[in-house]
Amino acid sequence: MFTILGYTSEISVAPGESMTCHVSAENDQRYQARVVRIVNGDCNPLGPGFRVVHVPTAIDGWYNGRRQRTDAGSYMVARNIAGMRQAVAFVANVWPTLPGWRLPQVVAHLATADGSVTLGIDAGALVLTVNGAGGSQSVALPASVLLEREWLRVVATVDPAAQVLMLEAVPLRIFPLLRAPFRRSEALTVPFVPDEGGDFYLSARPLTDGTVGHHFNGKIEAPTLLTDSGMGDMATARPVPQRLLSHIMAAWDFSREMTGTTAIDVGPRRQHAVLVNLPARAMTGSNWSGQSHDWRQAPLEYGAIHFHHDDLYDAGWDAAFTLTLPADMPSGAYAVHVHAGDNTEDATNEDYIPFFVRPPRHRGATSAKLLFLAPTNAYLAYANDSQVLVDRGAEIGMGRLLVLQHADVYLHRHPELCASLYDKHADGSGVCYSSRLRPVLNMRPRYHSWLGSHGSALYQYNADTHILAWLEHEGITFDVATDEDLHRDGLGLLDGYRAVMTGTHPEYHSTAMYDAMQAYLDRGGRLMYMGGNGWYWRVAFHADLPGVIEVRRAESGTRTWESAPGESYHSFNDEMGGLWRRIGRAPNQIAGIGFVAQGFDLSSYYRRRPDSENPRAAFVFAGVRDEIIGDFGLVGGGAAGVELDAYNKLLGSPPHALVLASSENHTPLTMLTPEEFLVTPAMIGGDESDKVHADMVFFETSNGGAVFSTGSIAWAGSLSWNGYDNNIRRITGNVLHRFLDAAPFAAPGAGA
């Protein structure tokens, strides 16, 4: 498997700026590093071939490598807890999701100078353990107490003065069994002296090797540290009862400051804690009534956090070196190439770590008329996708045997690199956060996704390099920016470009991104939508943590998991998650078309429609007399495939838009998306339903602007066919050259 991997601190860097590069060498071997410009990342022999160009920088050279460790798992930690007296009691509401997991889990851990107290789960049993100078002692409740996804109030007490060690669990619901509280106590025989300055951990504990482990899987609500166990029945109330305040060391309220990474202590000592590795917030608590689905409207019903042993925000590797870009470095797609060993033919001995050089940050600093918008949110959404190994129905859906790559197998062996927004956590809950601060093995040149159609097809990053290679072949100057750039800079990023071109799969957009694109078009901008399934899911960026997005898969859409009831609002910004279509802003309003079908076996072709003869579209088909468009390509053998978008006036497609061509003859495995029907349909495949097709669309916008949309992820894979001599390349070139022309487009008159 891979002997060297890495990631960068930034995915988009302006000329003159710096970023750190983080590299792990499996065998502590030396390695070479250099920067390359990515021209084409696809190795398909039917295309132009893999091509990168070395760009000399100050990092060129040899480095001493070392293996770096990634510690996944989310937890909370509060340092130097004050207020300890003779007794220490921990109280919380707990909702375990893997109570019978094979490994021990820690619910809470208090470390003092002379010992520790740990509440955990071992072989399904709830166990309270005291470690002191004289040894250790435990008290446990039977495994039958902990039921998966059932709320319990847990009270754990260590009272040296009364010589009592007590553990109690109180069911908070009477379904599925009517059960009485469980309690077990023993005489405390291990000397234990509470002291000031102890560290408190929730959902994990520090290990002897310096890491943090034994993470809990499930929700925890209202964790509280008390000096009087007799108050335990009131300790999880929020706000804290007045008569309890004098007994409280700390009482954390997870409904406070929901968008941040600080757990707020509402007790008198304000001993706030830090949340590590992004446990899931905006989670329903034990008292959720179902009356509100927005956590801001009923904050006290969202006082729970869902912890997982497989959460990860930042891999935390030490920086290997810092790359400072030359002040005159052209905008484009680049990678830090690291290579270990002498065998240059072995891909497991090297890694290409992608990043993008964006245009300078001050206005007017670029002479390019075209901006290519790299859909990095989609790269992040699919980052380290593991469905190929865990989805038992994948081969049926693909219509073929799946071919595993080194990256797929490596990720299976290294789950600490964590999963994509299409995966589920080990406890079955959906992964709603994804970060780029880790090696992302399926965002690499040469990687062929299992989701690509017909085996040799590309998906995501390498599919987008088909567009970049074509632009270079055409000799067109362009800048590159990312979804992160658009979210941060808004309209200011797009303003000044004559045309903006998307990647093949711009699926995930924040509100700031959507608003910026709409404003750009309203001001007369030109958009070339070069793919399918665009503007589909709404995402949120974290206000303080760079490089992470959030998705809540609510209500509808093509999805591998769905948000639990009451958990459809983003924790990062309180916006309702789900489809843009479901909040009245369907992709049709931006691109003229919207997602209708997907299929990963074979791609098809387009047939011209009568609108293609309209004089308004004459420039599109200049030099193209063919009726059939794109019956060839690197992605499934055609230009219409993988994911398809179609025209629909009911969803906001402009009435004056021209449907220039539509695809046809799709396979039975190219199926309608679930939002396209209200009841189970009799016809959902491409061989039965005429709704399964892609539409090529053109329309004019206000102030001289225009939009051209291909409606297919596979489109870009046909650009290079036959040495770039084909009708897909010619149509795309015709549109781009016209869109770069300053002459304004004239919208058709009324009744046109």
Output the pLDDT for position 367.
76
For 639-648, the pLDDT digits (tens) are: 999 999 999 9
The domain boundary residue, chosen from 307, 326, 347: 307
616 token code pair: 């308004």
CATH number of the domain within which 149 lies: 2.60.120.200
The domain boundary residue, chosen from 328, 344, 363: 363
Output the pLDDT for position 524.
97
Going by C-beta distance under 8 Å and a sequence separation of 6 or more, which residues neighbour residue 101? 121, 217, 426
Q: Determine the average pLDDT of the residues in 239-258.
A: 92
Higher pLDDT, 421 or 113: 421
Q: Determine the average pLDDT of the residues in 353-380.
A: 91
Burial (Cβ within 10 Å: 0-12, 13-18, ≥19) of residue 243: exposed
Q: Which residue has the tokens 């380290």?
A: 384
Tell me, what amino acid is at 317?
A: W
> Cβ(336)–Cβ(249) under 8 Å?
no
Q: Determine the average pLDDT of the residues in 71-93.
A: 91
How many CB atoms sit inside 10 A of residue 602's CB?
A: 22
Q: Considering the domain boundaries, does residue 748 fall inside one?
A: no
Q: Determine the average pLDDT of the residues in 587-601.
A: 96
Burial (Cβ within 10 Å: 0-12, 13-18, ≥19) of residue 431: buried
Higher pLDDT, 351 or 677: 351
264 token code pair: 């707020």
Q: Determine the average pLDDT of the residues in 393-401.
A: 76
**Both 597 and 705 in a single domain?**
yes
> Cβ(240)–Cβ(251) under 8 Å?
yes
Going by C-beta distance under 8 Å and a sequence separation of 6 or more, which residues neighbour residue 690? none
Output the pLDDT for position 579.
97
C-alpha to C-alpha distance for 326 and 55, rounded to whole angstroms: 10
Quick one: which of 216, 202, 265 has its CA closest to 239? 265
**Both 344 and 408 in a single domain?**
no
- Strand ranges in 18-115 using DSSP code E only, listed in sequence order: 18-25, 31-40, 51-55, 61-63, 75-81, 88-96, 105-111
For 706-739, the pLDDT digits (tens) are: 999 999 999 999 999 999 999 999 999 999 999 9
Tell me, what amino acid is at 339?
A: H
Q: Considering the domain boundaries, does residue 495 fall inside one?
A: yes
Q: Considering the domain boundaries, does residue 750 fall inside one?
A: no
> Cβ(693)–Cβ(639) under 8 Å?
no
456 token code pair: 């040799």
**Both 382 and 359 in a single domain?**
no
Quick one: which of 341, 443, 338, 331 has its CA closest to 385? 443
How many CB atoms sit inside 10 A of residue 153's CB?
A: 21
| Secondary structure of residue 121 in the 3-state scheme | strand
Q: Considering the domain boundaries, does residue 611 fall inside one?
A: yes
Phi and psi at 22, nearest 5°, equal: -115, 120
- Which helix (H) or strand (E) is 66 found in, with range? none
> Cβ(92)–Cβ(250) under 8 Å?
no
In the predicted structure, residue 431 carries a pLDDT above the cut 80: yes
Q: Which residue has the tokens 């009131």?
A: 234
C-alpha to C-alpha distance for 28 and 68, rounded to whole angstroms: 9
C-alpha to C-alpha distance for 665 and 462, rounded to whole angstroms: 26
Phi and psi at 89, nearest 5°, equal: -125, 135
For 643-690, the pLDDT digits (tens) are: 999 999 999 999 999 999 999 999 999 999 998 888 877 678 888 888
448 pLDDT band, cuts 50/70/90, is: confident
Q: Considering the domain boundaries, does residue 268 fall inside one?
A: yes
Q: Determine the average pLDDT of the residues in 543-552.
A: 97
Quick one: which of 516, 660, 670, 493 has its CA closest to 595? 670
**Both 344 and 274 in a single domain?**
no
Output the pLDDT for position 412.
87
> Cβ(48)–Cβ(59) under 8 Å?
no
Output the pLDDT for position 388.
76
**Both 516 and 657 in a single domain?**
yes
673 token code pair: 């998306």
Distances (CA, A) of 320 to 298, 324, 335, 370: 46, 13, 15, 35
> Cβ(527)–Cβ(399) under 8 Å?
no
**Both 375 and 358 in a single domain?**
no
CATH number of the domain within which 323 lies: 2.60.40.1930
> Cβ(601)–Cβ(638) under 8 Å?
no
**Both 334 and 455 in a single domain?**
no
Phi and psi at 473, nearest 5°, equal: -60, -35
**Both 43 and 183 in a single domain?**
no
Among the residue ranges 104-113, 361-370, 505-514, 519-528, the one predicted with the least confidence is 361-370
179 pLDDT band, cuts 50/70/90, is: low
**Both 577 and 461 in a single domain?**
yes
**Both 415 and 285 in a single domain?**
no
**Both 562 and 584 in a single domain?**
yes
Q: Determine the average pLDDT of the residues in 7-33.
A: 97
Tell me, what amino acid is at 150?
A: E
| Secondary structure of residue 574 in the 3-state scheme | coil
Burial (Cβ within 10 Å: 0-12, 13-18, ≥19) of residue 207: exposed
Q: Which residue has the tokens 């484009």?
A: 332
Quick one: which of 543, 549, 521 has its CA closest to 431? 549
Q: What is the pTM of this model?
A: 0.95
C-alpha to C-alpha distance for 737 and 499, rounded to whole angstroms: 10
Q: Determine the average pLDDT of the residues in 46-65.
A: 95
597 pLDDT band, cuts 50/70/90, is: very high
C-alpha to C-alpha distance for 94 and 613, rounded to whole angstroms: 66
Structural domain harbouring 62: 4-69+316-363
605-630 burial, b for 16+ CB within 10 Å, e for fewer? bbbbeebbeeebbebbbeebebeebb
Q: Considering the domain boundaries, does residue 718 fall inside one?
A: yes
Q: Considering the domain boundaries, does residue 747 fall inside one?
A: no
Output the pLDDT for position 223.
97
| Secondary structure of residue 528 in the 3-state scheme | strand
User: Domain total for the chain?
Assistant: 3
In the predicted structure, residue 457 carries a pLDDT above the cut 70: no
Q: Determine the average pLDDT of the residues in 181-193.
A: 86
Higher pLDDT, 748 or 281: 281
Output the pLDDT for position 751.
47
Output the pLDDT for position 725.
97
Q: Which residue has the tokens 């420039």?
A: 619
Distances (CA, A) of 362 to 283, 359, 428, 489: 41, 9, 46, 11
**Local structure of residue 329 (DSSP, 8 states):** P
Output the pLDDT for position 344.
58
C-alpha to C-alpha distance for 407 and 409, rounded to whole angstroms: 6
Average of per-residue pLDDT values in the chain: 92
Q: Determine the average pLDDT of the residues in 163-183.
A: 78
Instruction: Name the range with the highest mean pLDDT among 81-85, 224-228, 325-329.
Output: 325-329
Going by C-beta distance under 8 Å and a sequence separation of 6 or more, which residues neighbour residue 556? 578, 579, 581, 582, 674, 675
In the predicted structure, residue 549 carries a pLDDT above the cut 90: yes
Output the pLDDT for position 568.
97
Output the pLDDT for position 364.
65
In the predicted structure, residue 453 carries a pLDDT above the cut 70: no
Phi and psi at 525, nearest 5°, equal: -70, 165
C-alpha to C-alpha distance for 250 and 266, rounded to whole angstroms: 7
Q: Considering the domain boundaries, does residue 746 fall inside one?
A: no
The domain boundary residue, chosen from 290, 307, 324: 307
**Both 286 and 435 in a single domain?**
no
